[in-house]
């Protein structure tokens, strides 16, 4: 559902600058500078002052604002009730030794809160191969619009009696563990996941994440005619084709992820930090034939 190159709801505009945007210091950049200066994790109140210029912010509001920054910048993570730099030894691990949780959602629309999740599909990728699968339908607690049913094939009768998100999301959290999260047009899926996790008072997803849509645009510019999941799955020769159903789309995304990792310079031996520098919005583009790419997968 989060495939921005197909006909889908328009992604929700972010109220925060994109991490790494050229010519602009983001809130995440300022928080990371503060952490580096102080040499420690920082409180939500300090984040509100440094990143947003809001002094004397009530603790609950400061925590929510800090949470928005952390959720939108994979370089940051929660350390208890404080905000820390998410970097570390894991970011230097080779991609071939990294565990990924590739996730896809189907929803009733494009806006968390006014729209609900109808299906969660995910696969775990270890050693660059799929090792586990997760799939559940979700009762969104609201009618599914006809145009969404046309896209996904999911109607009200299919979700009636299925788990509510209050049950389905904890099951997904347990499956995802602390794996690197991956999705195609990842901000779409992460906004829904973080919105629902915050609503359940369980914080945010704080692990690193990659966006195969951004990776494709960086590495396959001029190689494929479009960067939608269907085109990329065909390019990689994936056996599972996207169908706007969560598990099938997650499996196709996993296949695309592995192909893009092989296309990166040094392939599976390159680091998560290197991949994150390319595979998130605002990252510096790399040409398919340059430093950021090897031979086509």
Q: Would you please indicate which residues are annotated as catalytic (active-site) residues?
A: 244
Identify whether the C-beta of residue 130 lies closer than 8 Å to the C-beta of residue 124. yes
Sole residue written with tokens 């991956």? 182
Query: Cα(206)–Cα(39) distance, rounded to whole angstroms?
Result: 20
What are the C-alpha distances in Å from 56 to residues 31, 35, 45, 81?
17, 20, 8, 18
In 86-161, alpha helices (H): 146-152, 156-159
DSSP 96: G
Identify whether the C-beta of residue 266 lies closer than 8 Å to the C-beta of residue 195. no
Give me 141's structure tokens.
Answer: 């607690």
Query: Cα(170)–Cα(182) distance, rounded to whole angstroms?
Result: 18
């Amino acid at each position: 559902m989060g495939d921005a190159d197909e006909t889908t709801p328009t992604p929700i505009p972010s109220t925060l600058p994109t991490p790494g945007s050229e010519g602009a210091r983001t809130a995440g950049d300022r928080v990371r500078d503060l952490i580096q200066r102080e040499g420690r994790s920082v409180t939500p109140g300090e984040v509100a002052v440094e990143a947003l210029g809001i002094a004397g912010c009530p603790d609950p509001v400061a925590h929510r604002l800090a949470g928005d920054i952390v959720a939108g910048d994979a370089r940051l993570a929660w350390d208890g009730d404080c905000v820390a730099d998410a970097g570390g030894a894991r970011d230097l691990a080779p991609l071939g030794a990294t565990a990924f949780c590739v996730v896809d959602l189907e929803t009733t629309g494009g806006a968390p809160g006014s729209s609900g999740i109808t299906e969660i599909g995910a696969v775990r990728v270890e050693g660059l191969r799929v090792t586990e699968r997760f799939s559940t339908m979700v009762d969104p607690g609201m009618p599914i619009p006809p145009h969404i049913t046309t896209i996904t094939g999911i109607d009200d009768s299919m979700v009636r009696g299925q788990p509510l998100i209050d049950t389905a999301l904890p099951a997904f959290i347990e499956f995802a563990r602390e794996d690197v999260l991956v999705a195609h047009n990842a901000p779409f899926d992460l906004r829904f996941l973080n919105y629902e996790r915050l609503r359940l008072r369980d914080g945010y997803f704080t692990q690193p994440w990659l966006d195969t849509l951004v990776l494709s645009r960086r590495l396959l510019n001029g190689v494929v005619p479009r960067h939608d999941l269907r085109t990329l799955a065909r390019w990689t020769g994936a056996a599972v084709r996207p169908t706007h159903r969560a598990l099938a789309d997650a499996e196709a995304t996993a296949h695309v992820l592995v192909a893009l990792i092989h296309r990166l310079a040094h392939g599976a031996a390159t680091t998560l930090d290197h991949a994150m520098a390319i595979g998130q919005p605002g990252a510096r583009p790399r040409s398919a034939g340059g430093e950021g790419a090897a031979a086509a997968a």
